Amino acid sequence: MLSPYKILKSAQLNHYAIGAFNACNLELIKAIVISAHRLKSSVIIATSEGESEFIGMRKIRKIIDVWQEELNIPIILHLDHGHSLEKIKEAINSGYDSVHFDGSSLCLEDNIKTTKKVVNYVKKKNSGIIVEGELGYLRGSSELHSGVEIKEDDLTDPDEALEFIEKTGVDSLAVAIGNIHGIIKKQSNSSGLKYRNPHLYLSRLKQIKEKVEDKVFLVLHGGSGTPEGDIKKAIDLGIIKVNINTELRIAFSNTLRKILKEKKNEIVPYRIMPAVIDAVEKVVMEKIKLFGSVNSILK
Ligand code: G3H
Ligand code: ZN
């Protein structure tokens, strides 16, 4: 497999983004890798701290290794929103290819100081592991919300972004440009529930990109529910990784609920789960197409 750095660099050079899809069980992993294989796309499988604890970091590493051997596609295993150096160390010792240290709740000075510690620790290992830092305040969590208010102060400041990447040496930077974690649920007149998140502040992204140029890989968290046109424009403006979690969780849970309701007497997991996997695959494939990474393994 190409190194994670080369995989991300190829996205930057060729102006597409790689999907980082969160997973915590065999069914989600299967749906993600099968979709990526079908569309010949590089893919990132991400586990948050909670998801990592549920599946086990060493276990997911082995599971991904087996899929990678069988399908021969580049799969980057990534720790998502690690909040301490201990978690980062645990992921690295378990064989993760990429780690995200989220110091965004700290003041700029402490965020730089702690992220730098993470970068120093990781780079000492000389292993090609990617380090992602985060700057700006991303509201919400990967669930359904009735409303989330974004404030101008939440957004990543372009000058601070440049200072952050120069002082920490991170490979990637997650930015706050009006994106939120999760999906805002709205009641529509005709067809029940409708999902729609606010528009991105694309002009802010443009200013950030002008400052940091190609010195860092720009990452968009909270990809679920974001207007598709905004995602496309954000990729044109330099985003090379888009994180998706909530839409997978919705596809998984809603389909599972539906199947169990329809087939009240069905108790065999391998007859229940295929429809759930199909529903998640549909979302993953739509995103891979939207991000422009179809056939990226050939680039
Ligand atoms: O880190 C994970 C992502 O930012 C997922 O965000 O749940 O809004 O897709 P999302
Ligand atoms: Zn996130």
Domain assignments of the chain as residue spans, ordered by start: 4-245+277-298
Residue 224 Cβ inside 6 Å of ligand 1? The answer reads: yes
Shortest-distance atom of ligand 1 to CA 48: 1
Residue carrying structure tokens 């200072």: 163
Instruction: Enumerate residues 6+ apart whose C-beta is below 8 A from 107.
Output: none
Count, residues in the chain: 299
User: Could you list the mean pLDDT of each consecutive 10-residue stretch along the chain, which spans 299 residues?
Assistant: 94 98 98 98 98 98 97 96 98 98 98 98 92 96 91 95 98 98 77 72 98 98 96 98 98 98 98 98 98 91
Q: How many CA atoms does the CB half-sphere of 16 hold within 13 Å?
A: 21
Four-residue CA torsion sign, 192, 35, 42, 39: negative
Cβ 97 under 6 angstroms from ligand 1: no
Q: What is the pLDDT of residue 127?
A: 85
Q: What is the pTM of this model?
A: 0.97
Residue 68, pLDDT score: 96
Closest ligand 1 atom to Cα of 221: 4
Write the CB contacts of 139 (distance below 8 Å, at least 6 apart in sequence). 148, 149, 150, 154, 180, 181
Q: What is the pLDDT of residue 193?
A: 52
159 is catalytic: no
Per-residue pLDDT of 77-108, as tens digits, reads: 999 999 999 999 999 999 999 999 999 999 99
What integer pLDDT is reported at residue 2 of this predicted model? 87
Name the CATH architecture for the domain at 4-245+277-298.
Alpha-Beta Barrel (3.20)
Which residue minimizes the CA distance to atom 10 of ligand 1? 222
